[in-house]
Structure 1
């Protein structure tokens, strides 16, 4: 179900949809695919940057500067993770563009120019607070059905939900919200453009529910640790992917615990009432 694309051009913008250009940072990894997507949004003669990317990629930074047209008006941050937010302070200093982040943004060391809340309008976009991957995660929706989906929905893979900042109950609830929104195209934080996204998001949610059932089925046999459950359910051998699987299992267990379906004692999880 996941999408692939060739190695993208670096330090160069490409047109992805009307009024939007994409640049891909040179920070590939097992968690970021080819790299972080930065979007340049032109609206009413003003230019906004969505997720300027990692601070380490100077060529990407200069390409953002070169791609700015009209009046540079602002920097929108989907969430505080450094591969998305890292270059924001430097871009503000270089261009004078204000930085807008979620009201839930956790970095006390950075003073943004404005906080965004669910339902707010900015740059012709509607702000959607979509916690799950991160507590401060935002998506941005245009009036004509384009959604900047950040890391909440990526086209190349499912996102990691890692407690304590990640929350599986919130993540699934916001997937349901995005399904109801029924946007026509997603521009994710990593990976290619996602067209006809509703069936894809429905499968993402279905897969999470399948994992949840597998965890519960495993616990019907015996109490288990997060690590044991992850090995049995995900069966990942790559250490980085196995670690991500453990974090997802921990998030599922927190969700199930909040629903009084499982309990934990001394590091062992078991079905409630067993």
Structure 2
């Protein structure tokens, strides 16, 4: 994590995997620092760290609500039938599975499922 005098942070490869609760908590910890610029692993610098982190947390919680609404004890492959992930190719499909699994781990840890 950045120290109290750091104004920039390198985002690197921050894809959500593992437990989504840990991922969201680490994003929220960034809000404790006066980070002004994020250097992502690809793309342009992000000048509004706070806004981008808040947007990402909102996005993840929105995706989690979608996962919770669609929850069925079905094989993970059935989760990808209608959301267009398949059309994006096998690499994106694998990342989507990791993200979905992270949400499911978080929900299970919270006693949701």
Partner of 2:27: 175
Of structures 1 and 2, the larger Rg is shown by 1
Q: Report which of the two has the higher share of strand.
A: 1
Instruction: Write the mapping of 1:1-274 to structure 2, written as runs, cut at 5 A.
Output: 128=1, 140-141=2-3, 143-152=5-14, 159-161=15-17, 166-219=18-71, 222-232=72-82, 234-236=83-85, 237=87, 238-262=89-113
Query: Structure 1: 5+ residue runs without aligned partners?
Result: 1-127, 129-139, 153-158, 263-274
TM-score by length of 1: 0.37
How far, CA to CA, are the matches of 1:244 and 1:211 in structure 2?
A: 14
Cα 1:215/1:144, change in 2 over 3 Å? closer
Using CA pairs under 8 Å that are at least 6 residues apart, name the structure with larger relative contact order, 1 or 2. 2
RMSD between aligned residues: 2.0
Asked if structure 1 preserves the Cα contact closer than 8 Å seen for 2:27 and 2:57, the reply is yes
Cα 1:177/1:150, change in 2 over 3 Å? same
TM-score by length of 2: 0.83
Asked if structure 1 preserves the Cα contact closer than 8 Å seen for 2:24 and 2:57, the reply is yes
Query: Structure 2: 5+ residue runs without aligned partners?
Result: none
Asked if structure 1 preserves the Cα contact closer than 8 Å seen for 2:4 and 2:33, the reply is no
Aligned length: 111
How far, CA to CA, are the matches of 1:251 and 1:177 in structure 2?
A: 19
How far, CA to CA, are the matches of 2:9 and 2:3 in structure 1?
A: 4
Asked if structure 2 preserves the Cα contact closer than 8 Å seen for 1:231 and 1:242, the reply is no
Give 1:172 deviation, angstroms: 0.5
How far, CA to CA, are the matches of 1:215 and 1:144 in structure 2?
A: 36
Q: Report which of the two has the higher share of helix.
A: 2
How far, CA to CA, are the matches of 1:202 and 1:235 in structure 2?
A: 25
